[in-house]
Amino acid sequence: MGQVSGHVVAAAFAVFNPAVVVPAVERGWALTDAATICAVRTEGAVAQLTRVLGPSPDGLSEVTELLSRACEGLRLEGKPLYAGLASLGLPCEPMADMWRLADCLREYRGDAHTAAWTSAGFDPVEMGLLTELYWGLPTRTYIRTRGWVGEDLDSAMERLEAHGYMADGCLTETGRAAREEVEVATDRQCDTIVRALGDDLDPLITLLGRWGDAIRNSGGYPAAGPHDLARAGT
């Protein structure tokens, strides 16, 4: 998105506490600039992928072609993070091109998700608390990675209980239905991606799934994400 203010960054990333984001961005801009961060981020991601998968893993050209097809026709309105990435174009290097296209799709989905939960009337703390329980995590755990503290969580839980979404620290049927509807609304905005891929969606997921396993097994990404923690009963 360029050299924007911390307030713009907080608005785009949405789920993070602006009280943490704004000063962090201001400090960051005192040390470097957006173009440098963007270049180093891409360089680091490509180096990591190459370290784990090799410079030309089987299926790279196929994955890149399918990701490119999936991105065709995606609109910019209401999708600030996707728009920022898409404006960069492709680096014109095989692994980097694949990474950029995958990054674009990830942020498109993220922007769609933000639109879904904000239009449903939730604030970021409420959404985080609902999501923990929806995933099967203990409440007040994962949300702390977003910079929210006890007072924020207390007031959000009171609001969720008052609206019938939570009771005794658990999701109610109303709360689960409301959280599920956010996922449905997010998926609806991504239908164009699914339609563009058609019958090639499953092969793409299979290829990327193998790469994902390799990356996690090599220590390139935490082996336990939120869903894994929930399955393990952590």
pLDDT of residue 140: 93
Which tokens hold the place of 128? 């985080």
pLDDT at 226: 67
Task: Tell which residue, 106, 102, 103, 96, has the closest CA to residue 49.
Answer: 96
Map tokens 């674009």 to a residue: 104
Closest CA to 100 of 63, 54, 75: 63
**Per-residue pLDDT at 108:** 98
CA distances from 70 to 33, 80, 210 (A): 31, 18, 19
Domains of the chain: 32-108+204-220 (no CATH), 120-184 (1.10.10.10)
Q: Tokens in use for 52?
A: 């784990």
- Residue 112 has a CB neighbour count (10 Å cut-off) of 19
pLDDT mean values, one per 10 residues, the chain (234 residues) = 94 96 96 95 96 95 98 95 96 97 98 98 98 94 94 97 96 98 98 97 95 90 65 57
pLDDT of residue 127: 98
Supply the pLDDT for residue 220: 81
Q: pLDDT at position 228, please?
A: 65
